[in-house]
């Protein structure tokens, strides 16, 4: 590859790396908002009341409601984050591309290199235009059902629960739910080695592609499309 091709490739990889880090940073910064929302809207107003009033047979329905409420909150938040990231990434890609001379030719060589520049962890296949379809949180139900199952098990022994038990259930549910949300958003790579080993996960959790990786993949694939449009086809 010529020097110009290598420097173009390095410029684009610099853009990619900056986007990957920026998205992580953006989600990390804004996650407390989601947490606060979940604590207030879902956990305090919905969960606490329901747990207090629930009978043994209500728990399946409660778990279902929690799933859908939490899932919707995370989904809405994720799409908002994705839109912000797209806007930022497009602006920065434009700036990066403007650094090239006007008559710069994006050769097949540059494209070939950048088209495979998606880190393996972000290889989630082709992405459509509908963000709602892409940023879906399918594994939520499993996490919350697991928690609900633990409560049902307890309920066999302890129902009707004393206040101390109710408090315990509420705390456990809150912790599990927030942990599950964290897992869905960031994956398990932010948990730390010790915590990661300790954490009991459903078997299929390793296959979850977290929201962060999905947004990163969307941004990089969008960038690839933008660059592909500039590539001059071989004569």
Partner 1 sequence: MPIEKFFLREIPPHVLDGVNSGAYKVVGSVVRDVATGKGVAFLQETDVLQRSVGDALGLARSFPPLDMAVNAVQDTVIISKLSAIESSLCILQSLQIGTFALAGLNLGVSIATFEMMRRKLNLISEHLKIIEQKIDRITEDRRGDEISDIFATIEHHLENLKTITVRKNKIHTAHQIENTLGESAKLLGRRFNDQLGSIEKGMISKKEIELLWIILNAIMVCYDSRLRALFTIDELPAAKELADQRSQSYAELCQIISADTLARDELLLPAETFVKALRESALMFSGRSELIGHLIECNIAGPDYLNEIANENTAPLLIREMK
Q: Which is nearer to partner 1, 107 or 152 (CB)?
A: 107
Residue 179 Cα distances to 65, 112, 195, angstroms: 18, 40, 12
Q: Does 13 bind partner 1 (CB under 8 A)?
A: yes
Could you say which of 26, 30, 88, 121 contacts partner 1 (CB under 8 A)?
A: 121
Q: Are 75 and 132 within 8 A, CB to CB?
A: yes
Closest listed residue to residue 63, CA positions, set 132, 120, 148, 125: 148
* Nearest CB to partner 1, comparing residues 170 and 201: 201
Nearer to partner 1, 101 or 160 (CB): 101
Cβ 79 to partner 1, closest distance in Å? 21
When asked if residue 193 is in the footprint of partner 1 (CB under 8 A), the reply is yes
**Given the rule CB under 8 A, which of 33-41, 54-62, 109-117, 134-142 is the region that contacts partner 1?**
109-117
* 69 in contact with partner 1 (CB under 8 A): no
Output 6 or 61, the one with its CB closest to partner 1: 6
Please report whether residue 116 would count as binding partner 1 according to CB under 8 A. Answer: yes
Question: Whose Cβ is closer to partner 1: residue 2's or residue 68's?
Answer: 2
Tell me how far apart the alpha carbons of residues 201 and 14 are, in angstroms, rounded to a whole number: 35
Residue 115: CB atoms within 10 Å: 14
Q: Please identify, among the stretches 41-49, 81-89, 94-102, 136-144, the one whose residues bind partner 1 according to the rule CB under 8 A.
A: 94-102
20 binds partner 1 (CB under 8 A): yes
Q: How far apart are CA 20 and CA 88, in angstroms?
A: 12
Instruction: Answer yes or no whether residue 61 interacts with partner 1 by CB under 8 A.
Output: no
Contact 77, 192 (CB under 8 A): no
Q: Does 31 bind partner 1 (CB under 8 A)?
A: no
C-alpha distance from residue 116 to each of 29, 81, 92, 112, 220 (Å): 29, 25, 20, 7, 11
Distance CA 39, CA 45 (A): 8
Measured in whole angstroms, how far is the alpha carbon of residue 5 from the centre of its chain? Answer: 34
Residue given tokens 């910064």 in the structure block: 29
> Binding marks (x or -) toward partner 1, 140..179, rule CB under 8 A?
----------------------------------------
Helix, strand, coil percent content, the chain, rounded in steps of 5? 80, 0, 20
State whether the Cα torsion 43-44-46-51 is positive or negative.
positive
Residue selected from 17, 29, 60, 171 as contacting partner 1 according to rule CB under 8 A: 17
Query: Max CA-CA distance within the chain?
Result: 79
Q: List residues near partner 1 by CB under 8 A.
A: 1-4, 6-7, 9-10, 13-14, 16-17, 20-21, 23-24, 100-104, 113, 116-117, 119-121, 187, 189-190, 193, 196, 216
């Amino acid at each position: 590859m010529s020097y110009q091709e290598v420097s173009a490739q390095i410029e684009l990889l610099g853009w990619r790396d900056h986007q990957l880090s920026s998205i992580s940073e953006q989600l990390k910064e804004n996650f407390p908002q989601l947490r606060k929302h979940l604590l207030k809207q879902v956990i305090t107003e919905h969960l606490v009341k329901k747990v207090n009033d629930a009978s043994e047979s209500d728990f399946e329905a409660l778990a279902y409601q929690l799933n859908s409420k939490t899932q919707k909150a995370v989904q809405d938040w994720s799409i908002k984050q994705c839109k912000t990231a797209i806007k930022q990434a497009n602006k920065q890609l434009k700036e990066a591309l403007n650094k090239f001379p006007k008559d710069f030719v994006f050769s097949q060589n540059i494209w070939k290199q950048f088209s495979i520049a998606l880190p393996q962890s972000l290889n989630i296949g082709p992405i459509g235009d509908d963000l709602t379809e892409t940023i879906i949180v399918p594994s939520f139900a499993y996490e919350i059902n697991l928690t609900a199952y633990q409560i049902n098990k307890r309920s066999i022994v302890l129902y009707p629960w004393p206040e101390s038990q109710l408090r315990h259930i509420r705390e456990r549910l809150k912790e599990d739910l927030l942990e599950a949300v964290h897992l869905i958003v960031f994956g398990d790579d932010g948990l730390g080695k010790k915590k990661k080993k300790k954490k009991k996960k459903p078997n299929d959790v390793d296959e979850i592609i977290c929201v962060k990786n999905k947004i990163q993949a969307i941004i990089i694939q969008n960038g690839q499309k933008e660059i592909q449009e500039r590539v001059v086809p071989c004569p």
